[in-house]
Chains A and B, each alone.
Chain A
Amino acid sequence: MASSQHVLLSPAELAYLHASLNLTPPIRPDGRSPTQFRPLVAETGILPGTNGSARICFADGTEAIVGVKAEVERTRTRHDFPSLDEGTEDDDDLDDNQNDVIKGDNDWVEMTVEIPGYRDDDAGTVFLSVMLSEALLADGEFTKRLWINQRFHWKLYLDILLISPPLSYPLPLLSLTTHLALLAARLPRLKSEGDEDPLFDDDWAAAPYLYPRPSEKGSKATAPAPAARPPVTLLVMAVGNNIIFDPSKEELAVADVALAVSVGESSSTTTSTTSSKPTAMDIDTEETKGHNLRLLSVRTIDPPSRLTPPGIPNASNSAYGANAGVKDTEKKKQQQEQARTAESEAVEGVWKAPRGGAKTLVMATMVQKVLEKGGVADEVLDALDGVDLN
């Protein structure tokens, strides 16, 4: 699908692009530095009918909207949870016991991706949605947030719409929009207790966030999970030994290897601040500067470069130069042999679709560049902090 979309570039253009990205430092067509992202416009809370929503518009004109909807659903009782049969009725300290049995199910989250022009069961669309939900569910903590009581849970529907045609591989756009929508998502405050049928507070202003803010002390205390933020999936590609972030469509067309790296963040602040016992929240925010990153998933993405048309070196081009119009069979045989070597050997300045895979070292460096302190993931999360969530 989107990743293997045909790019209308000639072999000569591809060769030029590849060569310029292979320089040290690489020269990108739009003049960005290797780790620089395209500028974007983001806003949240645009859809009043949802529990949380966000919209992001990239400078190249691609735009995505994500809406989060939650429904109360009855939990299907499973025979294999011994904890359910034992019962908690006799216990006075009901709350303690409940915290022990909070259990999530991956079925509680349903994610759909829609990309204009593609069927929803298209392999690429499915790949995108599986990748995004895999990152979200990787630590097993997210679904615990949807637990209401032993009989009921929230069912969360995440609908991701790309509303512009896919001009570039939409993975980073969709991931960032989902991230913001989840950050802005709120669930009604629960009024009932224990295993009663759930009853919720009418006051939307009192609804707690799905991902509690560090500044909200009350909700933080009851928050069950350590993952403080939803995951972010970044697209990274490599040309030669150069590692390039947020590639545009043209850059991706000459990539040797492309990876989607999902990164989450767990709240380190709870452990680190207890010792110093700070009174002000300012200290709290300062400490979060060094994000406590976690690697959640890495996937290779089939680079569209493998589908690009190859160029023909002059040596083997029978319609060019001295070879043009040669009739001699002896010479033709020679040409064929030359062509065979040209097929296996790279010729300077002539584009050839990459063959084989990627060196492990390059792949490891790509992941490391994302995760290192002060690396790209840190930067992206910091930038997302700047988005107003109300």
Chain B
Amino acid sequence: MADRRRINGPVGTTNPPIYDDAPEKQSEGVKVTRSRPANVIRKMYLKTGVTPSASGSAYLEIESSGNGGSGLKLSCSVHGPRALPRSTPFSPHIILSTHVKFAPFATKQRRGYIRDPIERDLGTHLETALRGSIIADRWPKSGVDIIISIVEGEQDRETSKAQGIEAWDTMNALSGCITVASVALADAGIDCVDTVAGGVAALVQDAGNDAAPSIVVDPIPSEHEKVLAACCIAYLPTRQEVTNLWFKGDLPASDMDVYTQLIEKGIQASKSANRVLVDCLNETVG
């Protein structure tokens, strides 16, 4: 429901500030390139129980790129399972409702308080990813709300001018959302078949060498010349199953191998994130 009583700031009428020093820096050739190996994800910090009033909550922070930008900071709270209001029809399963919202100050372009299509889309993806992992028939007639606020989006101060990068950033945001929501669900004590975690892999073209494009795990779009394709995967490691797959890009149909490799790398990234997740949960229990 749109909140009409709130007075929002102007939408899309101002250009984001651009700092003068950027072109100089680029001409010096100090453009940050990827320093991690191709199959290593960034360090992340994960903590449960940050919101005492919620039945489960978690906080995730992903290391920022070395470019003076900000890393991803997510906070998730889970409310429920709780009885559905009387007016809703009978449901034999738990009803998930996911809410993903960027804070107005999370990205360079200010976001309003009303969720825009990208945020709603992220919410749908997240719901698909989680519904596969939850054992939904243990809670008939009940609902659970999963609310994620992205406190700080992944943004590079210098390269955000480049167009089209934001589209790839949403993939990283989604994978973070999946991981943090999975931890929060576990913290809330909701039965799952397995802990699901998100992972991103991308097919990138690097600036220097005009050789064949390579596949990297957990990409930072600004570190590469061009992102050709990317995929975000939600993976259940013990069952070896994928609950959500989102691929985007432009791949010729003739090389399906690249697509398969991309998916495999995405699964690998998800497995790495899952290790952090399991450690975090062990810490909570122990």
Chain A interface residues (CB < 8 Å from chain B): 78-80, 105-106, 121, 123-124, 126-127, 129-130, 134, 138-140, 259, 263-264, 266, 292-302, 306-310, 343, 353, 355-360, 363-364, 367-368, 371-372, 377
Contact = CB atoms under 8 A, between A and B. Distances in A.
B123 interface: yes
8 contacts: A292-B252, A295-B247, A298-B247, A356-B133, A356-B236, A357-B243, A360-B241, A367-B256
Interface stretch (B113-121, B145-153, B211-219): B113-121
B127 interface: yes
Contacts of A293: 252-253
A123 B117 CA distance: 9
Contacts of A371: 253, 256
B259 interface: yes
Contact of B193 (A139, A308, A355, A364): A355
Nearest to B128: A302
Contact of B118 (A130, A300, A357, A359): A130
Interface in B230-258: 231, 234-236, 239-253, 256
A140 B245 contact: no
A302 B126 CA distance: 10
A303 B93 CA distance: 14
A105 B163 CA distance: 8
A79 B250 contact: no
Interface string B106-135: 000000000001101101110110011101
B108 to A, nearest CB: 12
B189 interface: no
Interface of B: 2, 15, 18, 91-93, 117-118, 120-121, 123-125, 127-128, 131-133, 135-137, 161-164, 167, 193-194, 231, 234-236, 239-253, 256, 259-260, 263, 267
B254 to A, nearest CB: 8
Nearest to B226: A140
Contacts of A292: 252-253
B242 A295 contact: no
Main secondary structure of the interface of A (DSSP, over half): mixed
Contacts of A121: 2, 120
B55 to A, nearest CB: 22
Contact of A353 (B136, B239, B252): B136
A309 B120 CA distance: 27
Contacts of A263: 253
B242 A360 contact: yes
Given A140-B250, A355-B136, A356-B241, 11 more contacts: A80-B162, A106-B164, A127-B124, A139-B250, A264-B250, A293-B252, A295-B252, A297-B248, A310-B92, A310-B137, A357-B239
B64 to A, nearest CB: 22
A309 B141 CA distance: 12
B239 A300 contact: no
Indicate the member of A79, A123, A139, A292 with the most B CB atoms within 10 Å. Answer: A123
A363 B263 CA distance: 10
Contact of A134 (B18, B137, B248, B260): B248
Nearest to B23: A82
A358 B242 contact: yes
A126 B245 CA distance: 18
Given A80-B18, A105-B163, A294-B250, A127 B121 contact: yes
A259 B245 contact: yes
Given A295-B251, A356-B194, A302 B239 contact: no
B128 A130 contact: no
A123 B127 CA distance: 11
A126 B120 contact: yes
A360 to B, nearest CB: 6
Indicate the member of B18, B234, B240, B247 with the most A CB atoms within 10 Å. Answer: B247
A307 B125 CA distance: 16
Contacts of A356: 132-133, 193-194, 236, 239, 241, 243
A37 to B, nearest CB: 19
Nearest to B115: A121
Contacts of A138: 248-250
